[in-house]
Amino acid sequence: MAAKAAASFIFMLFFLSTACQAKLSSSFYDKSCPNAESAIRTAISAAIARERRMAASLIRLHFHDCFVQGCDASILLDETSSIQSEKTAGPNDKSVRGYEVIDKAKSEVEKICPGVVSCADIIAVAARDASAYVGGPSWAVKLGRRDSTTASRDLANTDLPAFTDSLDTLISGFQKKGLTARDMVALSGSHTIGQAQCLTFSDRIYSDSNIDAGFASTRKRRCPRTGGQENLAPLDLVTPNSFDNNYFKNLMRNKGLLHSDQVLFNGGSTDSIVTEYSRNPAKFSSDFASAMIKMGNIHPLTGSAGQIRRICSAVN
């Protein structure tokens, strides 16, 4: 009897979890706010037109949101007496960008559909639009997420990958979020655009042995051994503003900027995936889009859970 009850309970949890996931739909706002995605796209396009680097920042913002409590816009909440903001967590502080772009998109959507579209969904759509704007893949974003009323600086400090991580640590961290090693490599390919601060790769260019000597020498000009830790350098020197598969070609030449980049091609289990993507840009684009959709499904709040924030940086 106890076994039957336990089995029924487990089935119920599975059913509820599946039902929760099923509520996300690319047509979620078709009736309640049919022009939502168009309004978001206009705001995102304007922001990237002003600063090309913003495309990478918006993709990263979505990633850093979803890996902490799920895709619930918790990363946007400011510090209060009851909220420990994720913005000041180690992986995010003075690093994650694009908050004001999401705020702008939210304000435009609020003008046409007040109180309807969540900040979490705006982040997800912004990441897709950012990718498409710089020549990357596009995909149908599943919508219907709601916004959290909490944030977790502690989880941001523990659950987000670090630039010093080993391959095993990366694979394990992504698996805990329901993402495979292939998903992880595909998502890492977003480092085909964007820039990194010297503090994230100075140890690599001065200490790692699996790095092209000329590449390291070039990077040292911008990043001295001491000082200049906040200086920026493109993750991909060759095509830093275009979303392509050059990131993987760089890894095969020991020209990965971050330690956590180069471990993807260093005699380990993901070497074959890197090689595949370096030769087949269409496969990379397809897998990246699939992985972004999958990542966007990490523990969303749906139904009556959470809320639709009026202002993304504060609970209602």
62 is catalytic: no
Residue 232: per-residue pLDDT: 93
Domains and CATH numbers, the chain: 27-160 (1.10.520.10), 167-293 (1.10.420.10)
Q: For the chain, how are helix, strand and coil distributed in percent, rounded to 5?
A: 55, 5, 40
Does the pLDDT at position 2 exceed 50?
Answer: no
Residue 308 CA: distances (Å) to CA of 201, 235, 239: 38, 35, 38
Query: CA-to-CA distance for 38 and 23, rounded, in angstroms?
Result: 22
Among 74, 55, 54, which Cα is nearest to 64's? 74
Per annotation, catalytic residue among 62, 64, 259, 299: 64
Residue 293 CA: distances (Å) to CA of 21, 55, 221, 289: 12, 17, 39, 6
Q: Please state the residue numbers annotated as binding site.
A: 65, 68, 70, 72, 74, 86, 161, 191-192, 236, 239, 244
Q: What is the pLDDT of residues 33-58, one digit of tens each?
A: 999 999 999 999 999 999 999 999 99
Q: What is the pLDDT of residues 104-158, one digit of tens each?
A: 999 999 999 999 999 999 999 999 999 999 999 999 999 999 999 999 999 999 9
Query: CA-to-CA distance for 128 and 248, rounded, in angstroms?
Result: 21
Confidence at 7, pLDDT banded by 50, 70, 90: very low
Q: Please state the residue numbers annotated as binding site for Ca(2+).
A: 65, 68, 70, 72, 74, 86, 192, 236, 239, 244
Residue 11: per-residue pLDDT: 47
Query: CA-to-CA distance for 96 and 57, rounded, in angstroms?
Result: 7
Tell me the pLDDT of the chain averaged across its residues: 93
116, exposed or middle or buried, with CB in 10 Å at 0-12, 13-18, 19+? middle
Q: What is the pLDDT of residues 17-35, one digit of tens each?
A: 444 444 899 999 999 999 9
212-251 burial code (b ≥16 CB/10 A, e <16)? eeebbeebeeebeeeeeeeeebbbbeebbbebbbbbbbbb
The pTM assigned to this predicted structure is: 0.91
Q: Please state the residue numbers annotated as binding site for heme b.
A: 191
Confidence at 231, pLDDT banded by 50, 70, 90: very high
Query: CA-to-CA distance for 14 and 129, rounded, in angstroms?
Result: 32
Confidence at 221, pLDDT banded by 50, 70, 90: very high
Q: What is the mean pLDDT of residues 163-190?
A: 97
To 5 degrees, how large is the angle CA 156–CA 175–CA 64? 30
Q: Please state the residue numbers annotated as binding site for substrate.
A: 161
